[in-house]
Chain A
Amino acid sequence: MQLRSWTPSRRETMGLGLAAMLAATLAPRLVMATEEAVAAELKKLYGDTPMAPGKIKLDLPEIAENGLVVPLNVDVESPMTDGDYVKAVHVFADGNPLPQVVTYKFTPQSGKAAASVRMRLAQTQNVVAVAEMSNGTLYTAKAQVKVTIGGCGG
């Protein structure tokens, strides 16, 4: 199943009339989530169930072209049969005001556990995905996305 979910229509809301360089420095005035906040969310969902790295392919740009609409593709390796499938995938961002980005639920009828979304990232931070398999085991993957001011390349 390929989801193409909500995308903000207005991409140019940053820094009107200001220098490019100012835009990114405004964001940190908000209180941002932390790695611990992501861990706390996961604890609420899954208690102390251990999470292993692997199975999840997290496709993100190394540097966001636009922090307001960062493309994310997540693809979890699974046969997606009645006996062995991916139940859910949660995506978190540890440097946004709220850590939750999106949760996808799958069934064997989904065919594959893959989805795409565009998310807003306030600053350079880690994006964390956790996949819950039908037997209850958990897998995780993490990638850093740099949100830069830009403007001086050459």
Chain B
Amino acid sequence: MISRRDFVIAATAAGMLAAGARGAFAQAARAGTMTQDDILRFDPVGTLTILHTTDLHAQLEPIYFREPSVNIGVGEARGLPPHLVDQAFLSYFKLAAGGPDAYALTSLDFDALAGSYGRMGGADRIATLVKAIRAARGEGNVLLLDGGDGLQGSWSSLQTKGEDMVRVFDALGLDAMVGHWEFTYGAERVQDIVDKAPFAFLAQNVRSMEWQEPVFAARKMFERGGARVAVIGQAFPRTPISNPRWMIPDWEFGLREEDVQKQVDEARAAGADVVVLLSHNGFDVDRKLAGRVKGIDVILTAHTHDALPAPVMVGTTLLIATGSHGKFISRLDLDVKDGKVAGFRYGLLPVFSDAIAPDPEMAALVKEVRAPYAADLGRVVGQAGSLLYRRGNFNGTFDDMICQAMLAERDAEIALSPGFRWGGTLLPGDPITFEAIANATAITYPACYRNMMTGKQLKDVLEDVADNIFNPDPYFQGGGDMVRVGGVGYAIDIGQPMGKRITDLTSLKTGQPLDPGKTYAVAGWASVNQGVEGSPIWELVERYVAAARTVDIAPTGSVKVSGA
């Protein structure tokens, strides 16, 4: 990634990518002497720097996070970034296999490379990078923006309803954020955060149900590096569908593309030199939107957890993808001349925790906010016998473990685990701590239910979720990955329309096809309905892991994918 980060585009020659190969970092990494300075080295352009973090999922400490080995693009996104994995990803971006780039950006040789390059992220390491860039560029020239899903995803964030991360963002000097999982703390808590936080919470696409009035500020103008930068917030448009609507009953979301255009036009009329969309739409939605809304200079993408070492350009709009869990921060330098973006340089900065000195103040804050939960966080429940990871379009081994736990603990024939994209990775031999379980399950609607469903109902569920991911029109996609299944296997033909993708639903226990008319006991969690009964999922998983002691899960192969 680093060798490609010195792209400069002159506005007059847009599309002419001049790759200034940066061998130093790659060499240093190969020699095993990668340093903080290597990560920070950047040939500045212009006077304005935008820093982007996103989808941190409240990960205060460095973690392992394996990127997907299956990430299928459909429709116009087929075969394009971010829908490239492993060797295809490396080839597209001309990155070497076996090095830090391959480790950070793909799933290739993950266990082995994780041993060499270590954990990534950590609020104290991010603070070090942010402070260093501010010092080099000048306080008044740097804008720090977060793309949402920052306040949720850990035990301490769940216990404090995001307050731990609000304090971290405050200490980082965040200028503005947008939201998605933040809304699962409920309307009242979100309002409370917005009222008290020292940074802006921007969301142009949330309206009150009754009066259709804006609930949040839509945009904010910042003066940085001698430029007027308008930042427009776009919350995750499908929040009330993907997450419990009853927690935000009076708010309506939606894409509201025409309103984005209005915001852009108003921002320009108000004198903006640069217009930034701080978006939680997801990459493919933003790529489509960039082709339809005129006048956006930069879209800072989020939600789909993609990390791309170079911007994707749609016309003159730059799409930036910063990854997730604090593995990366994005640095975008803009050269603003005569009220226009005349050039840029971009870097996806990898947060290799072993190469970056922790910022002492942030380290102290992280310790403080975690202290009340230290006993729970550190409790070792069992051990990972094999690689436990979540991310990918279909079942990963971490969710296989969760499904196994539900089958065992709820005496079910079939288990369903939601297709969340967040949650860390454990290497073979790693202890499974309660924190690691919480990192994949810490939500405000954790009840593990048990229901009777017919074979037809189960197929309908899979069809519905599949269309949410593989509808060829990104505006009809909701993000997330396919619901994970335990106890059953199926075949999916991506290229078919809704209702015709799923076939061969088979019980893994009996080897028999599921009968559409017969009912089966199904366990699941994260239902978006109110009043769901059952123990929190983390309790079941903890019991299961404690009983198993060592969790060994081979990839099942029970989902057969075609038509990609």
Residue among A17, A64, A154 making CB contact with B532, cutoff 8 Å = A17
In the complex, the chain B residue whose C-beta lies closest to that of A73 is B212
A25 at interface, CB cutoff 8 A: yes
Q: If A25-B460, A153-B236 touch, does A20 touch B478 (CB 8 Å cutoff)?
A: no
Binds B, one of A107-115, A134-142, A144-152: A144-152
Known contacts A19-B451, A63-B476, A63-B478: does B418 contact A152 (CB below 8 Å)? yes
Question: A24-B460, A154-B479 known; A65 and B241 CB under 8 Å?
Answer: yes
Q: How far is the CA of A20 from the CA of B449 in the complex (A)?
A: 11
> Which of A12, A65, A150 has a CB less than 8 Å from the CB of B253?
A65
Contact between A152 and B246, CB atoms less than 8 A apart: no
Q: Does A34 contact B (CB under 8 A)?
A: no
The smallest C-beta distance from B310 to any residue of chain A, in angstroms, reads 26
B449 nearest CB neighbor, chain A only:
A19
Measured as residues with beta carbon below 8 angstroms from the partner, the interface class of chain B is 35 or more
Q: Which of A18, A62, A71, A153 contacts B480 (CB 8 A)?
A: A153
**Interface residue? A100 (CB, 8 A):** no
Q: Is A54 part of the contact surface with B, judged by Cβ < 8 Å?
A: no
B375 within 8 A of A: no
Smallest CB–CB gap between A23 and chain B, Å?
8
Q: How far is the CA of A151 from the CA of B242 in the complex (A)?
A: 4
Output the least CB separation between A105 and chain B (Å): 24
B468 contacts across to A, CB distance below 8 A: 148, 150, 152-153
Q: B530 contacts which of A12, A149, A150 (Cβ < 8 Å)?
A: A12
Q: Is A51 in the interface zone, CB < 8 Å from B?
A: no
A150 to B238, CA, bound (A): 9
**A1-53 CB contacts (< 8 Å) to partner B:** 11-12, 14-25
Indicate whether A124 reaches chain B with its CB closer than 8 angstroms. yes
A66 at the interface (CB under 8 A from B): yes
| Contact between B461 and A148, CB atoms less than 8 A apart | no
Q: Are A149 and B465 in contact (CB under 8 A)?
A: yes
Report if B421 contacts A (CB, 8 A).
yes
Q: A17 CA to B534 CA in the complex, in Å? A: 11
Whether B419 contacts A154 by the Cβ 8 Å rule is yes
**B93 on interface, CB distance cutoff 8 Å:** no
What residues on A are CB-neighbors of B457 within 8 Å? 21-22, 25
Is B35 close to A, CB under 8 A?
A: no
User: Could you tell me the distance between the alpha carbons of A153 and B456 in the complex, rounded to whole angstroms?
Assistant: 22
Collect the chain B residues with CB atoms within 8 Å of residue A151's CB: 241-243, 418, 526-528
In contact, B461 and A149 (Cβ under 8 angstroms): yes
A111-140 vs B, CB cutoff 8 Å, 1 = contact: the mask equals: 000000000000010000000000000000
User: When chains A and B are docked, how far (Å) is the Cα of A124 from the Cα of B473?
Assistant: 15
Tell me if B529 and A20 are in contact (CB < 8 A): yes
- The answer to whether B254 has its CB under 8 Å from any CB of chain A is yes
Please pick, from A12, A65, A154, the residue contacting B418 in the complex, using a CB distance under 8 A.
A154
Cα distance, A25 to B452, chains bound together (Å): 13
Question: How far is it, in angstroms, between the C-alpha of A129 and the C-alpha of B419 when the chains are bound?
Answer: 37
Asked if A79 lies at the interface with its beta carbon under 8 angstroms from chain B, I say no
| Distance, CA A18 to CA B529, complexed state (A) | 8
- B543 contacts chain A at the CB level, 8 A cutoff: no
> In the complex the two chains form, what is the Cα distance from A150 to B243 in whole Å?
8
With A11-B249, A19-B524, A124-B498 known to touch, is A153 a contact of B533 (CB < 8 Å)? Answer: no
B416: chain A residues at CB < 8 Å are: 21
Instruction: Contact check, A154 vs B481: say whether CB atoms are below 8 A apart.
Output: yes
Are B480 and A154 in touch, CB under 8 angstroms? yes
Contacts of A17 in B (CB 8 A): 529, 531-533
Minimal beta-carbon separation of A134 from chain B (angstroms):
28
In the complex, whether B134 has a CB less than 8 A from a CB of chain A is no
- Given A18-B451, A22-B457, A154-B242, verify A149-B236 contact (CB < 8 Å): no
Residues of A within 8 A of B254 (CB): 61, 65
Indicate whether B422 reaches chain A with its CB closer than 8 angstroms: yes
Task: Indicate if the CB atoms of A150 and B242 lie closer than 8 Å.
Answer: yes
> What residues of A have a CB within 8 angstroms of the CB of B239 in the complex?
153
B187 on the A face (CB < 8 A): no
Interchain CA distance A23-B245 in the complex, whole Å: 14
Q: Which of A20, A25, A71 gathers most chain B CB within 10 Å?
A: A20
B440-463, CB under 8 A of A: which get 1 and which 0? 000000000101010011001100
Q: Which residues of A contact B352 (CB under 8 A)?
A: none
Contact indicator B451/A153 (Cβ below 8 Å): no
14 extra A-B contacts, CB within 8 A, seeds A17-B529, A21-B524, A154-B420: A15-B529, A16-B529, A16-B530, A19-B449, A20-B528, A21-B457, A22-B457, A65-B241, A65-B245, A65-B254, A124-B498, A146-B467, A152-B480, A153-B480
* Subset of 27 A-B contacts with CB under 8 Å: A11-B249, A16-B529, A17-B529, A17-B532, A18-B529, A19-B524, A21-B453, A22-B453, A22-B457, A24-B460, A25-B456, A25-B461, A61-B255, A63-B241, A65-B245, A148-B468, A148-B478, A149-B464, A150-B241, A150-B242, A150-B468, A151-B243, A152-B242, A152-B420, A153-B239, A153-B479, A154-B481
Which B residues lie at the A interface, using CB under 8 A? 236, 238-243, 245-246, 249, 252-255, 416, 418-422, 449, 451, 453, 456-457, 460-461, 464-465, 467-468, 473, 475-476, 478-481, 483, 498, 522, 524, 526-533
